[in-house]
Amino acid sequence: MTPKLLHYDRHFIAVEKPSCLPTQPTPTSDDDLLSQTVVLVRKLREREGPVYIHPIHRLDAVVSGIVLFALSSKSLSRLNEALRNGEIERHYSAWVEGKIQETASRWEDYLYHDEFKKKAVIKAFPFEGAKRASLSFKVVPTISQTRPLTLIEIDLETGRYHQIRAQCAAHGYPILGDHYYGSRYRTQNTGIALHHSRMTFPHPITGKNIVIHSPFDESIFLTGED
Protein backbone atom coordinates (compact mmCIF):
# COMPACT_ATOMS: atom_id res chain seq x y z
CA MET A 1 0.00 0.00 0.00
CA THR A 2 0.99 3.64 -0.51
CA PRO A 3 0.01 6.17 2.17
CA LYS A 4 -1.79 9.35 1.18
CA LEU A 5 0.77 12.11 0.64
CA LEU A 6 0.02 15.39 2.43
CA HIS A 7 3.34 17.27 2.07
CA TYR A 8 6.81 16.46 0.78
CA ASP A 9 10.14 18.19 0.39
CA ARG A 10 13.67 16.92 0.85
CA HIS A 11 13.62 17.77 4.56
CA PHE A 12 10.42 16.06 5.76
CA ILE A 13 7.31 14.25 4.62
CA ALA A 14 3.77 14.22 6.04
CA VAL A 15 1.41 11.37 5.24
CA GLU A 16 -2.03 10.24 6.35
CA LYS A 17 -2.11 7.08 8.43
CA PRO A 18 -5.21 4.91 8.15
CA SER A 19 -6.58 3.40 11.34
CA CYS A 20 -5.48 -0.12 12.23
CA LEU A 21 -1.96 0.39 10.85
CA PRO A 22 0.96 0.81 13.29
CA THR A 23 3.24 3.80 12.80
CA GLN A 24 6.36 1.64 13.08
CA PRO A 25 7.10 -2.09 12.76
CA THR A 26 5.86 -4.29 15.60
CA PRO A 27 6.40 -8.00 16.29
CA THR A 28 2.76 -8.74 15.45
CA SER A 29 2.24 -6.54 12.37
CA ASP A 30 2.68 -7.50 8.72
CA ASP A 31 2.81 -3.87 7.58
CA ASP A 32 3.42 -0.42 9.01
CA LEU A 33 3.32 3.23 7.99
CA LEU A 34 7.09 3.76 8.23
CA SER A 35 7.82 0.99 5.72
CA GLN A 36 5.14 2.27 3.36
CA THR A 37 6.51 5.81 3.59
CA VAL A 38 10.05 4.63 2.74
CA VAL A 39 8.65 3.16 -0.49
CA LEU A 40 6.79 6.40 -1.20
CA VAL A 41 9.93 8.53 -0.68
CA ARG A 42 11.86 6.34 -3.13
CA LYS A 43 9.13 6.84 -5.71
CA LEU A 44 9.14 10.61 -5.17
CA ARG A 45 12.93 10.73 -5.50
CA GLU A 46 12.82 8.34 -8.46
CA ARG A 47 15.71 6.32 -7.13
CA GLU A 48 16.35 3.30 -4.95
CA GLY A 49 18.74 3.10 -2.06
CA PRO A 50 18.68 3.83 1.67
CA VAL A 51 16.29 6.46 3.01
CA TYR A 52 16.97 8.45 6.18
CA ILE A 53 13.58 8.65 7.87
CA HIS A 54 12.44 9.10 11.46
CA PRO A 55 8.98 9.83 12.92
CA ILE A 56 8.61 13.09 14.85
CA HIS A 57 5.58 11.71 16.67
CA ARG A 58 3.47 8.57 16.61
CA LEU A 59 -0.18 7.67 16.47
CA ASP A 60 -1.73 4.65 18.15
CA ALA A 61 -2.51 1.92 15.63
CA VAL A 62 -6.27 2.47 16.03
CA VAL A 63 -5.96 6.24 15.40
CA SER A 64 -5.87 7.80 11.92
CA GLY A 65 -4.46 11.03 10.52
CA ILE A 66 -1.27 13.02 10.04
CA VAL A 67 2.15 11.57 10.79
CA LEU A 68 5.28 13.65 10.22
CA PHE A 69 8.66 12.10 9.33
CA ALA A 70 12.04 13.84 9.20
CA LEU A 71 14.17 13.03 6.16
CA SER A 72 17.51 14.33 7.46
CA SER A 73 19.33 14.46 10.78
CA LYS A 74 19.19 18.26 10.79
CA SER A 75 15.42 18.24 10.25
CA LEU A 76 15.01 15.60 12.95
CA SER A 77 16.95 17.66 15.47
CA ARG A 78 15.10 20.89 14.70
CA LEU A 79 11.64 19.34 14.58
CA ASN A 80 12.25 17.53 17.86
CA GLU A 81 13.37 20.83 19.38
CA ALA A 82 10.22 22.52 18.07
CA LEU A 83 8.16 19.74 19.64
CA ARG A 84 9.88 20.16 23.01
CA ASN A 85 9.39 23.94 22.86
CA GLY A 86 5.68 23.68 22.12
CA GLU A 87 6.07 25.09 18.60
CA ILE A 88 4.26 22.18 16.97
CA GLU A 89 0.48 22.44 17.25
CA ARG A 90 -1.56 19.26 16.94
CA HIS A 91 -5.31 19.25 16.44
CA TYR A 92 -7.58 16.22 16.45
CA SER A 93 -11.20 15.52 15.57
CA ALA A 94 -13.23 12.91 17.42
CA TRP A 95 -16.65 11.47 18.04
CA VAL A 96 -17.13 10.90 21.76
CA GLU A 97 -19.95 9.07 23.51
CA GLY A 98 -22.30 11.24 25.52
CA LYS A 99 -23.63 14.75 25.05
CA ILE A 100 -21.17 17.45 26.12
CA GLN A 101 -23.12 20.49 27.28
CA GLU A 102 -20.32 23.09 27.09
CA THR A 103 -19.47 24.64 23.74
CA ALA A 104 -15.78 24.56 24.70
CA SER A 105 -13.67 23.48 27.64
CA ARG A 106 -10.17 22.64 28.85
CA TRP A 107 -9.09 19.59 30.81
CA GLU A 108 -5.96 19.42 32.94
CA ASP A 109 -5.26 16.13 34.66
CA TYR A 110 -2.38 13.90 35.68
CA LEU A 111 -1.52 10.81 33.65
CA TYR A 112 0.47 7.74 34.60
CA HIS A 113 1.60 5.27 31.94
CA ASP A 114 1.03 1.79 33.35
CA GLU A 115 3.53 -0.14 31.23
CA PHE A 116 2.44 -3.52 32.60
CA LYS A 117 -1.22 -3.00 31.61
CA LYS A 118 -0.27 -0.85 28.59
CA LYS A 119 -2.83 1.70 29.66
CA ALA A 120 -2.97 5.32 30.84
CA VAL A 121 -4.28 6.07 34.33
CA ILE A 122 -5.86 9.52 34.78
CA LYS A 123 -6.46 11.40 38.03
CA ALA A 124 -7.42 15.01 38.73
CA PHE A 125 -4.55 15.50 41.19
CA PRO A 126 -0.78 14.86 41.15
CA PHE A 127 0.37 11.38 42.14
CA GLU A 128 3.60 9.42 42.04
CA GLY A 129 4.92 8.79 38.54
CA ALA A 130 2.24 10.90 36.85
CA LYS A 131 2.79 13.78 34.42
CA ARG A 132 0.55 16.75 33.74
CA ALA A 133 -1.77 16.17 30.77
CA SER A 134 -3.82 18.98 29.24
CA LEU A 135 -5.99 19.60 26.21
CA SER A 136 -8.72 21.97 25.14
CA PHE A 137 -11.65 21.31 22.84
CA LYS A 138 -14.68 22.83 21.22
CA VAL A 139 -17.94 21.16 20.29
CA VAL A 140 -18.85 21.03 16.59
CA PRO A 141 -22.60 21.38 15.91
CA THR A 142 -24.04 18.36 14.10
CA ILE A 143 -27.40 16.95 13.13
CA SER A 144 -29.12 14.72 15.68
CA GLN A 145 -27.71 11.20 16.03
CA THR A 146 -29.56 8.02 16.96
CA ARG A 147 -26.92 7.48 19.64
CA PRO A 148 -25.78 10.06 22.22
CA LEU A 149 -22.61 11.34 20.53
CA THR A 150 -20.70 14.63 20.37
CA LEU A 151 -18.28 15.73 17.67
CA ILE A 152 -15.33 17.69 19.09
CA GLU A 153 -12.18 19.37 17.81
CA ILE A 154 -9.23 18.95 20.18
CA ASP A 155 -6.13 21.08 20.69
CA LEU A 156 -3.56 18.75 22.23
CA GLU A 157 -1.37 20.74 24.62
CA THR A 158 0.75 17.86 25.94
CA GLY A 159 1.44 14.60 24.15
CA ARG A 160 1.23 11.83 26.73
CA TYR A 161 0.68 8.12 26.22
CA HIS A 162 -2.95 7.50 25.12
CA GLN A 163 -3.69 10.99 26.44
CA ILE A 164 -6.78 11.97 24.44
CA ARG A 165 -8.30 8.52 24.75
CA ALA A 166 -7.71 8.32 28.50
CA GLN A 167 -8.78 11.89 29.30
CA CYS A 168 -12.00 11.63 27.31
CA ALA A 169 -12.86 8.38 29.09
CA ALA A 170 -11.95 9.78 32.52
CA HIS A 171 -14.29 12.72 31.99
CA GLY A 172 -17.15 10.42 30.98
CA TYR A 173 -16.90 10.77 27.19
CA PRO A 174 -14.96 7.82 25.74
CA ILE A 175 -13.95 7.93 22.08
CA LEU A 176 -16.47 6.11 19.88
CA GLY A 177 -15.23 2.57 19.25
CA ASP A 178 -12.47 2.72 21.88
CA HIS A 179 -13.45 -0.32 23.93
CA TYR A 180 -10.04 -0.28 25.63
CA TYR A 181 -11.19 2.87 27.43
CA GLY A 182 -14.85 2.08 27.95
CA SER A 183 -16.67 2.72 24.66
CA ARG A 184 -20.03 0.97 24.44
CA TYR A 185 -20.37 1.18 20.66
CA ARG A 186 -18.56 -0.12 17.60
CA THR A 187 -17.44 1.67 14.46
CA GLN A 188 -17.61 0.11 11.01
CA ASN A 189 -13.90 -0.79 11.16
CA THR A 190 -11.56 -1.80 13.96
CA GLY A 191 -10.29 1.74 14.42
CA ILE A 192 -11.65 4.40 16.75
CA ALA A 193 -13.25 7.75 15.88
CA LEU A 194 -10.13 9.81 16.61
CA HIS A 195 -8.28 11.53 13.75
CA HIS A 196 -5.19 13.78 13.72
CA SER A 197 -6.62 16.43 11.41
CA ARG A 198 -4.29 19.45 11.50
CA MET A 199 -0.66 20.15 12.33
CA THR A 200 1.16 23.50 12.39
CA PHE A 201 4.92 23.93 12.82
CA PRO A 202 7.93 25.97 11.64
CA HIS A 203 9.77 24.53 8.64
CA PRO A 204 12.96 22.96 10.05
CA ILE A 205 15.21 24.79 7.57
CA THR A 206 13.43 27.96 6.40
CA GLY A 207 11.37 28.66 9.52
CA LYS A 208 8.30 29.26 7.35
CA ASN A 209 5.00 28.36 9.01
CA ILE A 210 3.74 25.02 7.67
CA VAL A 211 0.13 23.89 8.02
CA ILE A 212 -0.82 20.30 7.20
CA HIS A 213 -4.49 19.30 6.85
CA SER A 214 -6.09 15.86 6.82
CA PRO A 215 -9.89 16.16 6.69
CA PHE A 216 -11.90 14.06 9.12
CA ASP A 217 -14.66 12.06 7.45
CA GLU A 218 -16.84 11.81 10.53
CA SER A 219 -19.63 9.94 8.72
CA ILE A 220 -17.64 6.73 8.22
CA PHE A 221 -17.63 6.04 11.96
CA LEU A 222 -21.39 6.23 12.40
CA THR A 223 -22.45 3.04 10.64
CA GLY A 224 -21.32 0.60 13.32
CA GLU A 225 -23.82 -1.35 15.38
CA ASP A 226 -24.27 -1.23 19.14
Give the DSSP H/E element, type plus range, for residue 150. Answer: strand 149-156
**What is this structure's pTM?**
0.93
Residue 24 and residue 46: Cα distance in Å, rounded?
23
Average pLDDT per consecutive 10 residues, the chain (226 residues; last block may be shorter): 91 96 90 96 93 97 97 98 96 96 97 96 96 98 83 97 98 96 84 96 98 89 59
What residue ranges do the domains of the chain occupy?
A: 4-221
pLDDT value of residue 151: 96
pLDDT value of residue 221: 73
pLDDT value of residue 225: 52
CATH architecture under which domain 4-221 falls? 2-Layer Sandwich (3.30)
pLDDT value of residue 146: 76
DSSP E strands, the chain: 4-8, 12-17, 54-55, 64-70, 89-97, 104-114, 119-123, 131-140, 149-156, 194-202, 209-213
